[in-house]
């Protein structure tokens, strides 16, 4: 059951995991949940690191001479020498204009890599390198994508130096997508390299069109998430909160890149910003209670300080510079649901003291939230003012956070 839940959580959080550029591990998802309009550009970056592009570059480097040339002719003017079929009309006109009676214009046969299949191949390599470099520039030190991106970039650089592709990649025509005829020629080619190029091209086109199979294939060859399931659940809760805020406030929400600067919000919706594992500058250390003073004194004897208060998620009004809600996220892995829920309530009560005055404390606690992975307790009705809302993943999938978000003000 836990495995199924972990998979559902990762699928729900796919949009954020596409932007998770920290230490992590590959995540396998069967039904990735993304917003194509929002995620299309980041998906294109993942395509550049995907298995279809890697297969193409690795094959090219092992079979450097498999690209095929085309025999074409070009006009050439020589003195008394014909390096191909003589063009009598062009020769006569040139001799009349130049006065050089021994000049000959001939159609010289030459080999060129500027063929339809090679145009497809060059376009794929050029765009893979461009998109991989963009994704690489977003990485933080220690990012799980860094090694993969560096390996792909190294291979793409080697491929771009091949004679068959060097001139084509430098041509202004590379900015245009290959013509349908070029794609047909590449798909029908006997050589494996062109079929691999078409496969990579079709993968990118499928992503841009929102094709679920293409998106799933790319994601499952690149998607990275936090190593710990509880971190992935926290990200999923953040996504659910963003969607609930967007729906109730009729404003879109935007996801941030989870890279080096952890002080930035994980998402924003209008004036609201959601912070992940950040106390923010709005936190003010409250006057310690008697038991807290005792703990602090004992730790001081060991030259230690009490741990910093840091909510799992913190919803802030960035304009008014005030905290809207404290959110504690609990993933069950061994403990009972009641034990984890009690822990969450204790944390909300303790953390909220640093974000509200005594007069505002009850209101902040009443707007706060406990998100359980399973088995959220039911509250008595009606909900008392100073009591946080409780929900779990199953309830969130049924829209429970819309009611909570609608009460925020």
Locus of tokens 């935007």: 254
Same domain? For 398 and 273 the reply is yes
Q: How far is CA 360 from the centre of its chain?
A: 39
**Residue 331 binned pLDDT confidence (cut-offs 50, 70, 90):** very high
Same domain? For 352 and 367 the reply is yes
Of the spans 101-105, 199-203, 385-389, which averages the highest pLDDT?
Answer: 199-203
pLDDT at 72: 46
Q: What 3 state SS string does 179-235 have?
A: CHHHHHHHHHCCCHHHHHHHHHHHHHHHHHHCCHHHHHHHHHHHCEECCCHHHHHHH
Helix (H, G, I), strand (E, B) or coil at 389: strand
In this structure, is residue 274 part of a structural domain?
yes
Same domain? For 172 and 74 the reply is no
> Which of 400, 256, 231 is CA-nearest to residue 329?
231
Alpha-carbon Rg for the chain, nearest whole angstrom, is 31
In this structure, is residue 275 part of a structural domain?
yes
Range of the domain at 306: 229-406
Q: Which tens digits make up the pLDDT trace of 198-229?
A: 999 999 999 999 999 999 999 999 999 988 99
In this structure, is residue 22 part of a structural domain?
no
Q: Which tens digits make up the pLDDT trace of 171-181?
A: 777 888 988 98
Same domain? For 61 and 105 the reply is no
Number of domains in the chain: 3
Q: Is the pLDDT of residue 65 over 60?
A: yes
Q: How far is CA 317 from the centre of its chain?
A: 26
**Residue 394 binned pLDDT confidence (cut-offs 50, 70, 90):** very high
Residues 6+ apart with CB under 8 A from 259: 21, 22, 138, 139, 140, 143
In this structure, is residue 347 part of a structural domain?
yes
Of 204, 222, 240, the position where a domain reaches its end is: 222
The structure tokens listed for 365 are 């606690």
Residues in the chain: 409
Interatomic CA distance for residues 287 and 303, integer angstroms: 21
Task: Name the helix (H) or strand (E) containing 93.
Answer: helix 88-98
Q: Is the pLDDT of residue 68 over 70?
A: no
Same domain? For 319 and 197 the reply is no
In this structure, is residue 98 part of a structural domain?
yes
Same domain? For 40 and 88 the reply is no
Same domain? For 98 and 144 the reply is no
Same domain? For 175 and 291 the reply is no
Cβ distance 138 to 132 under 8 Å?
A: no
Same domain? For 191 and 266 the reply is no
In this structure, is residue 164 part of a structural domain?
yes
Same domain? For 193 and 342 the reply is no
Same domain? For 152 and 53 the reply is yes
Q: How many CB atoms lie within 10 A of CB 173?
A: 12
Q: Is the pLDDT of residue 326 over 90?
A: yes
pLDDT at 379: 83
Of 222, 245, 262, the position where a domain reaches its end is: 222
Q: Which tens digits make up the pLDDT trace of 266-325?
A: 999 999 999 999 999 998 888 778 777 788 778 887 777 766 678 999 999 999 999 999
Stretch 241-265: mean pLDDT: 90
Range with the poorest average pLDDT among 7-11, 42-46, 55-59, 119-123? 119-123
Q: Average pLDDT, whole number, for the chain?
A: 87
Helix (H, G, I), strand (E, B) or coil at 397: helix
């Amino acid at each position: 059951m836990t495995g199924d839940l972990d998979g559902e959580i990762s699928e729900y959080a796919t949009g954020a995991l596409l932007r998770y550029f920290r230490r992590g591990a590959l995540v396998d998802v069967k039904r990735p949940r993304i917003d194509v309009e929002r995620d299309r550009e980041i998906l294109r970056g993942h395509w550049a690191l995907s298995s279809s592009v890697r297969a193409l570059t690795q094959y090219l480097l092992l079979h450097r001479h498999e690209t095929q040339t085309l025999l074409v002719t070009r006009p050439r003017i020589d003195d008394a020498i014909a390096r191909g079929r003589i063009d009598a009309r062009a020769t006569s006109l040139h001799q009349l204009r130049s006065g050089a009676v021994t000049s000959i214009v001939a159609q010289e046969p030459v080999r060129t890599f500027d063929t339809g299949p090679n145009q497809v191949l060059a376009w794929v390599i050029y765009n893979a390198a461009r998109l991989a470099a963009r994704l690489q520039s977003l990485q933080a030190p220690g990012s799980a994508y860094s090694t993969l991106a560096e390996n792909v970039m190294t291979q793409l650089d080697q491929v771009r130096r091949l004679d068959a592709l060097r001139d084509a990649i430098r041509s202004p025509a590379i900015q245009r997508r290959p013509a349908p005829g070029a794609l047909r020629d590449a798909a029908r080619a006997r050589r494996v390299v062109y079929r691999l190029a078409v496969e990579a091209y079709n993968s990118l086109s499928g992503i841009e069109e929102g094709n679920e199979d293409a998106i799933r294939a790319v994601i499952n060859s690149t998607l990275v998430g936090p190593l710990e399931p509880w971190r992935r659940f926290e990200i999923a809760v953040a996504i659910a909160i963003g969607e609930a805020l967007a729906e109730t406030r009729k404003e879109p929400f935007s996801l941030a890149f989870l890279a080096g600067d952890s002080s930035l919000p994980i998402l924003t919706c209008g004036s609201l910003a959601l912070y992940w594992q950040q106390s923010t500058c709005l936190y003010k250390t409250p006057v310690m209670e008697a038991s807290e003073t005792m703990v602090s004194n004992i730790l001081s004897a060991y030259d230690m300080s009490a741990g910093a208060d840091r909510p799992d998620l913190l919803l802030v009004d960035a304009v008014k510079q005030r905290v809207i809600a404290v959110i504690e996220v609990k993933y069950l892995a061994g403990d009972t649901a009641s034990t984890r829920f009690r822990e969450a309530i204790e944390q909300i009560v303790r953390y909220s003291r640093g974000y509200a005055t005594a007069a505002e404390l009850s209101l902040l606690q009443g707007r706060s939230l406990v998100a359980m992975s399973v088995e959220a307790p039911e509250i008595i009705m009606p909900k008392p003012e100073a009591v946080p809302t409780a929900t779990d993943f199953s309830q969130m999938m049924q829209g429970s956070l819309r009611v909570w978000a609608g009460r925020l003000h």
